[in-house]
Amino acid sequence: MIQTRQTRQTRQNEQGNVLFLILIAVALFAALSYAVTQSTRSGGGSAEKETAILNSASMTQYPTSIRTSLVRMILAGTGVDNLAFNPPSNFVGGNANLVFHPDGGGAVFQSAATDLMASGNQGTWTFNANFNVPEIGISTAGAGNDVIAFLRGVTTSVCTRANTELGVTTTNCALNAGVPTLLAASTAAEIDILMDNLYDFDAQTTDAEVIQGNDSVGTCRAFTGQPSGCFYDGTDNVFYSVLLER
């Protein structure tokens, strides 16, 4: 009888120990779940920041590959004024002058990734010589505008991150969520021109075609000496990158 009571007491003690261990396990699991949740929440900003960095990096790298092709073409004897940025669907004229033709620059013509674009659709790169960037090349009348790649419609987060990585300051500039505003006339029409065989290089003559940023008194110089940057043109965020300095 005594042995039976001892056995029961032992079993009760074991059950109590098991229950205590279960309670500890539940508490540890709850603590772990809370820690994971907090980590996920706190890491969300970092993940978003990392995504913006990666996207802005892919955006800035594409013009670099185009620039390499242009240098190769010029060294081979193609005149700057003869460079043609016709897309593959519109290859006309001498192939040696076509930046995206295998017999010309051999550059890859591609659309911008959807992650870069505010619309969620692929973006279209355009190339023209409508603008001059102060202190990039020769900024005097008749010297010729810089040849620039433009990507219109990028997200504000990518635009702002690109400026941060490129060292573009926005102090005293009119801003669109941190993005400098372009000072130029008819910017939308001029930016969207694709420089092809029928396009004539402009010569920089007025401040109306200067990429320099803007504020209420016109003193912002956010892009002075900046070969790349991102601005707001009144409608969209636009990334630019100088391909050839003139």
The pLDDT profile of the chain, 246 residues, written as one tens digit per residue, is 455 555 555 555 555 554 555 556 555 545 544 443 343 344 445 655 566 666 778 888 899 999 999 999 999 998 888 888 989 888 876 788 899 999 999 999 999 999 999 999 999 999 988 887 878 877 666 666 788 999 999 999 899 888 888 888 776 676 676 788 775 555 667 788 787 765 556 655 554 467 776 655 556 778 888 899 888 887 889 999 999 887
Predicted local confidence at residue 33, as pLDDT: 44
**Tokens of residue 15, six digits:** 């059950």
Give the integer Cα–Cα distance in Å for 205 and 39. Answer: 55
CB 202 within 8 Å of CB 160: no
The contacts of residue 80 (CB under 8 Å, 6+ apart) are 74, 147, 201, 244, 246
Give the predicted TM-score (pTM) of the model: 0.74
Residue whose C-alpha is closest to residue 90's, from 188, 189, 195: 195
CB 204 within 8 Å of CB 197: no
98: which DSSP letter? B
The contacts of residue 188 (CB under 8 Å, 6+ apart) are 233, 234, 235
Predicted local confidence at residue 29, as pLDDT: 46
